[in-house]
Amino acid sequence: MPTHPVLISSDQIQKRIRQLSREIRSHYKNKDLVILGLLNGSLFFLVDLLRHLPDRLEIECWRLRSYPAGHRQSSGKVEGLKEGHGNFKNKHVLIVDDILDTGLTLSSVKQRLTELGACDVKICVLLKKKKKRQRPITAKWSCFEIGDEFVFGYGLDYDGYYRQVPEIRTLKV
């Protein structure tokens, strides 16, 4: 791993999650909240964030894909949305994802949740890329803003591997 520099350490991630969770707890106080995790990328972030949130909430996960296996660029299509289910009617939904990049994934998920009757949909991401989005979508909560480089670790894959690397690293090829 040493060839791929550490961009964000595991301590920085945990510290930021604790800060963010305080804001999220106070925002959703006395509301019926559903956390919708998007897998696989948000796996570690989702679990670590949930450790700091109240017990009284529902957890759903959808498995989506916009990067075909072995690719480092979005295909421009989001697969797995149709399979998305769960009871979202009149619920406050917080989508938890790894990265907001082009915005295609998150805007498609948001639209699907609206079709399923959610009364409020907000977004929480681990990383937000600086680049211009292809869809007009914003995340109410994001841990870190990064440049346009390809990153992996802490749930994010590099060619399908290395998701369990504890920190976020920049790919150097």
Site mask, Mg ion, residues 62-101, x = CB under 5 A? ------------------------------------x---
Contacts of 85 (CB under 8 A, 6+ apart): none
d(CA 36, CA 71): 25
Closest by CA position to 96, among listed 120, 121, 114, 133 = 121
**Which amino acid makes up residue 107?**
S
Among Mg ion, ligand 5GP, none, residue 88 binds (CB under 5-8 Å by kind): none
What is the nearest approach in angstroms of ligand 5GP to the Cβ of residue 104? 4
**Which amino acid makes up residue 153?**
G
59 phi and psi, to 5 degrees? -120, 125
Binding of ligand 5GP at residue 48 (CB under 6 A)? no
d(CA 173, CA 169): 12
**Given the structure tokens 């979508």, which residue do they identify?**
137
Segment contacting ligand 5GP (CB under 6 A): 6-14, 47-55, 82-90, 145-153?
145-153
Q: Which of 6, 10, 59, 67 binds ligand 5GP (CB under 6 A)?
A: 67
Give residues 97-126 in contact with Mg ion (rule: CB under 5 A).
Answer: 98
What is the nearest approach in angstroms of Mg ion to the Cβ of residue 116? 19
Segment contacting ligand 5GP (CB under 6 A): 2-10, 22-30, 86-94, 97-105?
97-105
